[in-house]
Amino acid sequence: MNRYLSLIKFSHTIFALPFALIGFFLATRELGGNFLWQNFLLVLLCMVFARSAAMAFNRYLDRDIDEKNPRTVQREIPAGLISPMGALLFVIINSTLFVVTTWFINPICFYLSPVALFVILIYSYTKRFTWLCHFVLGFGLSIAPMGAYLAIAGKFDLIPLLYSAAVMFWVAGFDIIYALQDEDFDKAQELKSIPVKLGQKNALRLSLVLHVLCAAFILGAAYTITQRFEDFGLFIFGGSLIFVGLLAYQHSLVKVNDLSRVNLAFFTTNGIASVLLSVFFMLDYFV
């Protein structure tokens, strides 16, 4: 089991899960604060199953690429710790469990579940034909807040859509930073990415622009919350400002020709930012 948890980088769930929690509790607040553990567990299971399927499929599809890349050669499949068929079976099981779980939530989530699966799985192909792959990844993770909101409210709404837009630009921006590490390898293998397309300097500039857009949507969502609810929004505004500050800090860590702190920017800073945002949202909800 530990090998499969490592295969899917289970710890990276910390990026999208906090936004799913925001969508869930926002919908619960909209409906009068009637919290049900059953609904919470179903949403949590959907997140785990969907992300596990997407990450394992990425590792399965990229196994030959990972074997050639010195940075990824020790991953579970090229290292022989998990067989390709074992990984593919893991994908099928988690995809099936995701769809089945949505059936227990509501009809709209069940009907949209194949669409969500398609989006999160197709990302693994995109680096082979388009440098827009970072945006596809961002769009896949952006389903989290809107999907969790749909699970409870059964309808679309402006605020979770604002958070979904924020997640898309946030993830695309930090994935560009992460891809800087493989610029030379991707060129040699004829893989597509924004660093390959634009070079390091322009890729970092675009990442910054995307994170400015993310900040605008994060603050816009917080403002819309305060306008809709008289007794809700003070803490989330503070959490949003901290999130924006950590975005800025992330860009101070990575410089052209100095990628030594990419992991600090990618994993640590973004993980802390998303967790703190959800914590401040919970403070608003419960306090």
pLDDT tens-place values along the chain, 287 residues long: 677 766 766 666 778 899 999 999 999 988 877 778 999 999 999 999 999 999 999 999 999 999 999 988 998 899 899 999 999 999 999 999 999 999 999 999 999 999 999 999 999 999 999 999 999 999 999 999 999 999 999 999 999 999 999 999 999 999 999 999 999 999 999 999 999 999 999 999 999 999 999 999 999 999 999 998 877 778 999 999 999 999 999 988 888 777 777 776 777 888 899 999 999 999 988 87
Strand partners, 258: 255
* Under 8 Å between Cβ of 105 and 165: no
- Cβ count within 10 A of residue 212: 14
Domains contained in the chain, CATH given = 2-286 (1.10.357.140)
Residues 6 or more apart from 212 whose CB is under 8 A from it?
none
User: In terms of Cα–Cα distance, which of 51, 26, 258, 255 is closest to 155?
Assistant: 26
Its pTM stands at 0.94
- Burial (CB count <10 Å: 0-12, 13-18, 19+), residue 227: exposed
**Neighbouring residues of 41: CB distance < 8 A, sequence distance ≥ 6:** none
Query: Distance (Å, rounded) from C-alpha 18 to C-alpha 278?
Result: 5
d(CA 265, CA 63): 26
Q: Residue 117: CB partners within 8 Å, gap ≥ 6?
A: 50, 53, 95, 98, 99
pLDDT at 209: 97
| Paired strand residues for 255 | 258
List the one residue out of 179, 181, 251 whose CA is nearest residue 212: 251
CB 184 within 8 A of CB 146: no
Looking at residue 271, what is its pLDDT? 87
